[in-house]
């Protein structure tokens, strides 16, 4: 036993210097609490806002943490700092000579779902649906070489977007879905099965359900869900990933890139310092549904500035590119995409973000996205005006062992936002299953799309490294203009007028949610958490011509779950 102890001690000494420098290019998933904790730490110290272009690598998280004073031992500020530091500097599981590191983790999750109203039977009628629901088992594998190289992939076993027993509609069989924006201009030529937020699915209809998948025919064939290739150094990173990505601080939905979908597939370059961050991004979209082969990509570049420590400004230009071949000239990230002058191939959206901390514990933030505007000397009847705006206020203060924060946010988008007759900002993705392939239709930016007005209030109590308790209230007004509404190009009867049609759909959702990390004694278990949520949802309709409101239905939904990581 003594000899074994000496060997382990010598091995620990030999690899000790490597622990601090291994795995810095690891990409931290958006579900990690580090993002919430870094936001709170910056807010409580008056440092403004950390980069809202996410996910970060550990190197970038280390860079942002280095600008913050950890505070006094025992303070909430110090507890936040310590929790973030642990995540940002945690090495991979096994360290080998030559600065090579390897990790393998198994996540086992049990979730139960219950609700009152079986007519709430789609992803859009549940507050906790497909992108959030966890698979029964997930095996995570990652490797790193020093601070330069990192790669990750996972394997999972759980329910897919749909089950084998679901009846999936054809996109062209319903006259209301004769087209899907510029994605599918004429649906009669595309024989595809589709799922959207309103498609009835068995898993959401059941009064009681769980994630204990009974047969492999319901299995999610769309894996790995995350696949990351990442290289870089202390101030730059290049990644080729299948992962969630987000631009902005909005809790309702970011206008260009939002994390409400389960993943995007992208090539991304970032370079960053304390006062500046540059990003060049290309997202690749599925086009296998089309009769005529073509390429569809989002080309984007983003500049983020911190002229003062308490003010962050970001601007970006983003174009959807569609063509039957790839013109390499268009991939230059320093070009002004709007000046490509190829209306049949491009649709551009300009975007700006602002976050300002006037005093400790108070943050003002907002986003503005411009899809189309009439320039001087331009024909006002040529295109519809299309833009979106969100504004928010967040307040935070230490309370006992945690941080109490509250946010109030409002967001609106005009009907023609994301919509053009040749190239638009909609997405379609295929999900393979046993004997059939189903396509998900969705927005790339805000999940509400255009013709929408949404207000959200969120209150959180977060204890670093322990857990979170939150109350979220959401009220939404959604007009009739959606991704299926025909667009004829130029000026339409709905382009620049919010709620121009007779009916307005209403949504109210109140959710209480909590998550707790359990303390563990040495037992081979790396982490163990429990979580639950309780939601009340109500949908209705307001008819403008008669000034009448009809509360159609309501539902109570409960989720309980636990995840053990080995």
pLDDT in tens, 251-271: 999 999 999 999 999 999 999
Supply the pLDDT for residue 492: 52
Task: Compute the distance between CA of residue 196 and CA of residue 262 in angstroms, rounded to an integer.
Answer: 14
Tokens 């941080």 label which residue?
Answer: 403
Q: What is the mean pLDDT of the chain?
A: 88
Q: Residue 233 has what pLDDT?
A: 92
* pLDDT value of position 78: 94
pLDDT of the residue at 188: 65
Average pLDDT over residues 180-185: 82
List Cβ neighbours of 62 (8 Å cut-off, separation of 6 or more). Answer: 24, 88, 89
Q: Given a cut of 70, is residue 493 above it in pLDDT?
A: no
pLDDT, tens only, 136-156: 999 999 999 988 999 999 999
Q: 16-67: per-residue pLDDT in tens?
A: 333 444 689 999 999 999 999 999 999 999 888 999 999 999 999 999 999 9
pLDDT of residue 505: 94
pLDDT, position 9 = 34
Report the alpha-carbon distance of residue 333 to residue 399 in Å, rounded. Answer: 45
What's residue 552's pLDDT?
A: 79
Report how far residue 79's alpha carbon sits from residue 407's, in angstroms, rounded to the nearest whole number. Answer: 22
Q: Worst-scoring range by mean pLDDT, 29-43, 217-231, 379-393, 440-454? A: 379-393
All structural domains of the chain, each given as residue ranges with its CATH number in brackets, are: 2-565 (2.40.160.130)
462-to-361, 400, 472, 508 alpha-carbon distances in Å: 15, 11, 14, 25
pLDDT in tens, 517-536: 998 766 788 899 999 999 99
Taking only the tens place, the pLDDT of each residue in 403-442 is: 999 999 999 999 989 988 788 899 999 998 887 889 999 9
| Contact present, 234 and 147 (Cβ < 8 Å) | yes
pTM (2 decimals)?
0.90
Q: Which residue has the higher pLDDT, 99 or 175?
A: 99
Given a contact cutoff of 8 angstroms between Cβ atoms, the answer to whether 468 and 36 are in contact is yes
Q: How far is CA 379 from CA 345, 373, 386, 468, in A?
A: 21, 11, 15, 53
Which residue is listed with tokens 């064939």?
Answer: 221
pLDDT band at 220 (very low <50, low <70, confident <90, very high): confident
Q: Which of 79-83, 331-335, 362-366, 455-459 has the lowest mean pLDDT?
A: 331-335
Note every long-range contact of 133-137, with CB atoms under 8 Å and residues 24 or more positions apart, other chains counting. Answer: 133/158, 133/159, 133/211, 134/107, 134/109, 134/158, 134/211, 134/561, 134/563, 135/109, 135/159, 135/211, 135/220, 136/108, 136/109, 136/110, 136/211, 136/212, 136/213, 137/106, 137/107, 137/108, 137/109
**Rounded Cα distance, 210 and 558, in Å:** 11
Taking the C-alpha atoms of residue 8 and residue 12, their distance in angstroms, rounded to an integer, is: 6
The count of C-alpha atoms lying within 13 angstroms of the C-alpha of 16, restricted to the half-sphere facing its C-beta, is: 7
Phi, psi dihedrals of residue 281, rounded to the nearest 5°: -135, 135
- pLDDT score for 292: 78
Which pLDDT belongs to residue 173? 64
């Amino acid at each position: 036993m003594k000899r074994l102890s000496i060997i382990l001690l010598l091995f620990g000494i030999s690899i000790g210097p490597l622990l601090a420098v291994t795995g810095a290019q690891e990409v931290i998933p958006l579900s990690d609490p580090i993002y919430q904790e870094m936001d709170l730490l910056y807010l409580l110290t008056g440092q403004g806002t950390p980069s809202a272009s996410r996910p970060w690598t550990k190197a970038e998280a280390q860079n942002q943490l280095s600008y913050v004073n950890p505070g006094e031992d025992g303070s909430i500020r110090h507890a936040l700092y310590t929790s973030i530091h642990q995540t940002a500097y945690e090495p991979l599981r096994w360290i080998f000579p030559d600065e090579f590191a390897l990790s393998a983790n198994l996540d086992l999750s049990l979730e139960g779902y219950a609700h009152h109203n079986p007519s709430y039977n789609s992803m859009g009628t549940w507050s906790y649906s497909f992108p959030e629901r966890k698979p029964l088992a997930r095996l995570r594998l990652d490797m790193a070489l020093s601070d330069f190289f990192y790669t990750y992939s996972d394997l999972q076993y759980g329910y897919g977007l749909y089950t084998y027993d679901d009846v999936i509609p054809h996109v062209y069989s319903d006259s209301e879905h004769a087209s899907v924006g510029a994605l599918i201009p004429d649906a009669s030529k595309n024989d595809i099965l589709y799922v959207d937020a309103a498609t009835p699915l068995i898993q959401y209809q059941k009064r009681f359900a769980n994630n204990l998948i009974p047969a492999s025919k319901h299995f999610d064939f769309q894996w790995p869900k995350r696949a990351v290739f990442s290289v870089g150094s202390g101030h730059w990173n290049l990644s080729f990933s299948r992962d969630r990505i987000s631009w902005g601080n909005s809790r309702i939905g970011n206008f260009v890139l939002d994390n409400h979908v389960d993943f995007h597939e992208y090539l991304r370059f970032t370079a960053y310092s304390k006062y500046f961050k540059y990003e060049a991004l290309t997202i690749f979209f599925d086009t296998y549904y089309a009769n005529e082969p073509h390429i569809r990509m989002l080309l984007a570049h983003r500049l983020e500035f911190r002229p003062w420590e308490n003010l962050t400004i970001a601007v970006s230009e983003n174009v959807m590119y569609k063509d039957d071949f790839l013109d390499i000239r268009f991939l230059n990230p320093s070009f002004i995409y709007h000046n490509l002058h190829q209306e049949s191939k491009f649709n551009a959206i300009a975007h700006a973000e602002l976050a300002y901390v006037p005093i400790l514990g108070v943050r003002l933030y907002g986003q503005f996205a411009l899809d189309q505007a009439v320039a001087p000397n331009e024909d006002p009847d040529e295109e519809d005006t299309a833009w979106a705006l969100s504004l928010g206020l967040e307040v935070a203060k230490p309370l006992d062992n945690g941080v109490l924060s509250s946010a109030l946010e409002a967001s609106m988008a005009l009907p023609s936002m994301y919509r053009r007759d040749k190239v638009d900002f909609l997405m379609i993705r295929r999900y393979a299953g046993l004997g059939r392939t189903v396509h998900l239709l969705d927005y790339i930016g805000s999940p509400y799309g255009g013709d929408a007005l949404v207000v959200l209030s969120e209150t959180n109590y977060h204890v670093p490294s322990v857990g979170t308790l939150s109350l979220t209230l959401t009220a939404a007004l959604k007009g009739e203009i959606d991704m299926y509404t025909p667009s004829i190009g130029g000026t339409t009867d709905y382009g620049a007028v919010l709620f121009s049609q007779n009916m307005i759909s209403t949504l109210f959702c109140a959710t209480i949610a909590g998550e707790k990390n359990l303390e563990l004694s040495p037992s081979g278990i790396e982490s163990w958490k429990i979580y639950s949520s309780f939601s009340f949802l109500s949908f209705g309709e307001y008819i403008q011509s008669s000034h009448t409101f009809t509360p159609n239905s309501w539902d109570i939904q409960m989720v309980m779950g636990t995840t053990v990581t080995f």
